[in-house]
Amino acid sequence: MSGSKDMFQDIDDTRKGVVRLGDGKQLTVEGLGTISVHTEEGKKKLLSNVQYVPQLAHNLLSVGQLVSGGYSVTFENGMCAIKDGSTDEGLLKAGMGKNKLFPLDLSIHCGRALVVKGEDNAKLWHLRNVIFDEDAAWDWKTENQNEEETQRFISFDTATDPDQTPVQTPISSPSASTTSSPPTTPLNPHSHTTDGTQDSDSSSSELPRKVRSLIDIYDSCSFALVVTEPSNYEEAATHTEWTQAMEEEIKAIEKNQTWDLVTLPRDRSVIGLKWVYKTKYNSDGSISKHKARLVAKGYAQQEGIDYEETFSPVARFETVRIVLALAAQWKLPVYQLDVKSAFLNGDLLEDVFVEQPVGFVKKGEEDNVYKLKKALYGLKQAPRAWYDKIDSFFIGTGFVRSDNEPTLYVKKEGMHEFIIVCLYVDDIIYFSSSQSMLDSFKGSMTQQFEMTDLGLLQYFLGLEVKQGIDGTFLCQKRYALNLLKRFHMVDYETVKTPMNTNEKLQKCDGTEEADARLYRSLVGGLNYLTHSRPDLAYCVSIVSRYMQSPTRQHLGAARRILKYVAGTLEYGLWYCSVKDCKLRGYTDSDWAGCIDDRKSTSGSVFDIGSGAITWSSKKQETVALSSSEAEYVAAGAAAKQALWIGKLLKDLGCKQSNELELWCDNKSAIAMARNPAYHSRTKHIDVQYHFIRQLVAEGRIWLQYCGTEWQNADLFTKALNHVKHYHFMKRIGMCELGSRGGVESDQVQHT
């Protein structure tokens, strides 16, 4: 029986039934059909009366059914062999797995066709007429496929010129060529300019044809060729690069003295291990390395027995942007370190036992297990153990942890020398005003942990960082391009704004339901893009409200955002040094913008003189009775963010005035914050939003009025036309990389 309908050559959907599993659960049989498989000799055999059970996770082959069908099944020396009972011809073989089952690798026989589809502009395809010489065509063949089964299928979406309709006549092959018809020029895979144009007879209506090179074809085609990671050890063991990666992982574990081989105590359980494989890439898309990670099956752990604390802090993206903005302000280059096998350094407080990893079982000690002294990836407490380890190291070497960001550390020497370190799990970014402090920090880290020095920061958590002598440019161009490819929207027509100013989304808009899984994946991808694209914050927050039951209109709005991204791939944030490095915040709100519940949207954005460092676009939790109340609530939320940023800047040594600037374009909201006499108009507002009154009264927030044309937060509360949209983008420090003269990393003075 099988749960995959694609495996069937034919199926009778009328043959229904019920299958009872070993645990008593019943599954429905939705049909009976035939599956074709390849034998050991490469021949085709049919398996009949195969039940189609959609809920079945694994294909099952019944020994009883095989014997009844005239096949012989033998189990010998850990192997299962299936033969034709009449001819003794071998059908299938399977070795015994770890769980005492015999997994079969079925080579399903079905028609194969490799399609290469051209995706080019329609006008170009009008002018392209491609003919392949049958003798020169390449054989596309898959593994275990016989010659007679090889199918060549190259499909181009072609169209003829409306003004010229040539007769489709193939070029003659070299073997059939005559003096009046010269042979075609063979395809040259190394030539960019192969021109096999054939002269046509003057009396004929046929037009000359071109034979294009393989590179020309590749440039206009989409190939389904991707780098894939192995799914299990058996598959990885057949590739040298993955074998070396696994050996390196085991060496790193043993070097860190992570475990001891012991006999499992009677009262303890053992946790399984598995190999996880990942291909790592450089910022330009090239392969950096093949990484094999030995991971514990942490889902088997029990709280209170196998682990206690699990929470581990990581740096916020807004903290990373603040660090980059300050480094640009002080004209200091930012560097990056990577801790190899970071979690293996964490010390365990509990007794944890794991099985020996597959492929590396000690001979003669197969029944023993490993007792962990340090953490392994996959353990629930592994992140916390690593953070405790690195935190104690930083504190022990003179660093001071920020009270406002537990992954930010500062160390000072004298009056002016300092070094700042920001931690995101095993990725560390840092900069310093002193070369000696840089060398000392790098030396101590290398001595304590096994490190990879990545040099000048260029790529961090999907963020592309381009540092120059005049500033730092932050973008996600590569991520955005991959997102467009993922949803097949690279060649779509672009738009000037991410959202239509006249479009109002709502839950029930009358359109049919969209693919929820596709919609959520698309919106999730766009959400990650907002870490360097504040111009997307509002529109992404809007489409995020309809994740539960999206419609075609919602999906169309999300796709429009992608079209906008396609036209603004080069845009990002620009941080540079300014004379007045002062924290400024802008707060704004629409009023009753949500059609479904009439709630308003709060927006805010902060900077320290150049590019934006934090921003927010969020629907308010309560319904505002007026635009002034909506602005008042938005100002309260922005004030809390301003306090946090101000304290964080103080921790980093960037002193600010006692009053933090917060700009609002609603005078009534400002009056409500300054004057408690407005009690009758504000008594129904939640207490938490009155926090701004206290901050204004204490002189900690300087709430001032600004005109709408200077209200940067307008970008985060409503859809704007393209003139206003790009006006505010420029005001918050967004630009194209080329507009800054092409910042290059090698322009930085390496210290």
Residues 378 and 293 in one domain: yes
> Of the given ranges (236-240, 493-497, 539-543), which has the lowest mean pLDDT?
236-240
In a domain, 207, yes or no: no
Query: Is pLDDT above 50 for 17?
Result: yes
Task: Provide the pLDDT confidence category of residue 115 given band limits of 50, 70 and 90.
Answer: very low
Best-predicted range by mean pLDDT (57-66, 228-237, 722-731): 722-731
Q: Report the range of poorest mean pLDDT among 62-66, 213-217, 227-231, 323-327.
A: 213-217
pLDDT score of 679: 59
pLDDT of residue 585: 97
> Would you state the pLDDT for residue 740?
61
Q: What is the model's pLDDT at position 181?
A: 38
In the DSSP assignment, the letter for residue 708 is G
**Mean of pLDDT values over 630-644:** 95
Residue 741, pLDDT above cutoff 90: no
| Residues belonging to the chain | 751
Structure tokens, 188: 């040259």
Predicted confidence at residue 81, as pLDDT, reads 83
User: pLDDT tens, 335-360?
Assistant: 999 998 888 888 888 888 999 999 99
- Is the domain of 430 the same as that of 503? no
257 has a pLDDT exceeding 80: yes
**Residue 6: what pLDDT?**
75
Higher pLDDT, 362 or 300: 362
Q: Is 531 helix (H, G, I), strand (E, B) or coil?
A: coil
**203 within domain boundaries:** no
Burial environment of residue 480 by CB neighbours within 10 A (0 to 12, 13 to 18, 19 or more): buried
Pair 562, 669 in one domain:
no
From 178-182, 389-393, 676-680, 692-696, the region with the lowest mean pLDDT: 178-182
Residue 196 falls inside a structural domain: no
The pLDDT, as a whole number, for residue 111 is 46
Q: Which of these three, 413, 438, 461, is where a domain ends?
A: 461
Q: Work out the number of other CB atoms within 10 angstroms of the CB of residue 507.
A: 15
Integer Cα distance of 516 and 513 in angstroms = 8
- Is residue 413 a part of any domain in this protein? yes
- Rounded to an integer, what distance in angstroms lies between the CA atom of residue 366 and that of residue 358? 11
Q: Residue 676 above 80 pLDDT?
A: no
Instruction: Please give the Cα distance from 646 to 658 (Å, whole number).
Output: 9
- 134-143, 257-266, 299-308, 735-744 — which is least confidently predicted? 134-143
Q: What is the mean pLDDT of the chain?
A: 80
The residue out of 41, 60, 95 marking a domain boundary is 95
Task: Indicate if 487 and 426 belong to the same structural domain.
Answer: no
**Do 522 and 643 reside in the same domain of the chain?**
no
| Residue 681 or 378, more confident | 378
Q: Tell whether 508 and 521 lie within a shared domain.
A: yes
Least confident of 41-50, 113-122, 155-164, 728-737: 155-164
pLDDT at 677: 64
Domain membership flag for residue 115: no
Residue 505 resides in a domain? yes
pLDDT value at residue 204: 36
- 147, pLDDT greater than 70: no
Say which DSSP state 183 is in.
P
Q: Do residues 342 and 256 make contact, with C-beta atoms less than 8 angstroms apart?
A: no
Cα-to-chain-centroid distance, residue 4: 28
The proportion of the chain whose per-residue pLDDT surpasses 90, expressed as a percent, equals 48
When pLDDT is cut at 50, 70 and 90, the band that residue 456 belongs to is very high
Reported as a single tens digit per residue, the pLDDT across 399-439 is 999 999 999 999 999 888 999 999 999 999 999 999 999 99
Structural domain boundaries, residue 542? 471-575+738-751
Asked if residue 288 has pLDDT above 90, the reply is no
**486 and 366 within one domain:** no
pLDDT tens for each residue of 460-478: 999 999 999 999 999 999 9
The yes-or-no verdict on residue 160 having pLDDT over 50 is: no
> Do the Cβ atoms of 601 and 616 come closer than 8 Å?
no
Same-domain check for residues 250 and 267 = yes
CATH number for the domain harbouring residue 24: 2.40.70
Tell me the C-alpha distance between 705 and 588, whole Å: 11
pTM above 0.75, yes or no: no
Task: State the helix-helix crossing angle for 516-529 and 552-567, rounded to 10 degrees.
Answer: 30
Helix, strand, coil percent content, the chain, rounded in steps of 5 = 30, 25, 45
The pLDDT, as a whole number, for residue 304 is 63
Helices (H), 35-90: 63-68
**Residues 534 and 392 occupy one common structural domain:** no
Which pLDDT band, with edges at 50, 70 and 90, does 319 fall under?
very high
89 vs 328: which has the higher pLDDT:
328
Beta bridge partners of 10: 34
Question: pLDDT tens, 579-598?
Answer: 989 999 999 999 999 999 99
Rounded distance between C-alpha atoms, residue 572 and residue 732, angstroms: 11
- In terms of domains, do 586 and 570 share one? no
Given 73, 95, 117, the domain boundary residue is 95
What phi-psi label fits residue 91: left (phi over 0), alpha (psi between -120 and 50 degrees) or beta? Answer: alpha
676 within a domain of the structure (yes/no): yes
Q: Same domain for 417 and 271?
A: yes
User: Which has the closest alpha carbon to 114: 88, 137, 90, 136?
Assistant: 137
pLDDT at residue number 79: 81
Residues 6+ apart with CB under 8 A from 207: 129, 164, 166, 167, 200
Q: Mean pLDDT, to the nearest integer, of 294-306?
A: 73
Q: What is the pLDDT of residue 205?
A: 36
The whole-angstrom separation of Cα 272 and Cα 356 is: 8
CATH code, domain with 670: 3.30.420.10
In a domain, 531, yes or no: yes
pLDDT in tens, 522-554: 999 999 999 999 999 999 999 999 999 999 999
If asked whether residues 400 and 298 sit together in one domain, one would say: yes
CA-CA distance, 277 to 291, in Å (whole number)?
A: 6
Percent of the chain with pLDDT over 70: 76
pLDDT of res. 386:
93
What pLDDT, on the 0 to 100 scale, is given for residue 209? 42
Which residue's structure tokens are 């005492």? Answer: 100
Give the model confidence (pLDDT) of 174-184 as tens digits: 333 333 333 33
Per the structure, the count of domains in the chain is 4
Tens digits of per-residue pLDDT, 28-57? 888 888 887 766 666 677 777 888 888 777
| pLDDT at residue 157 is higher than 90 | no
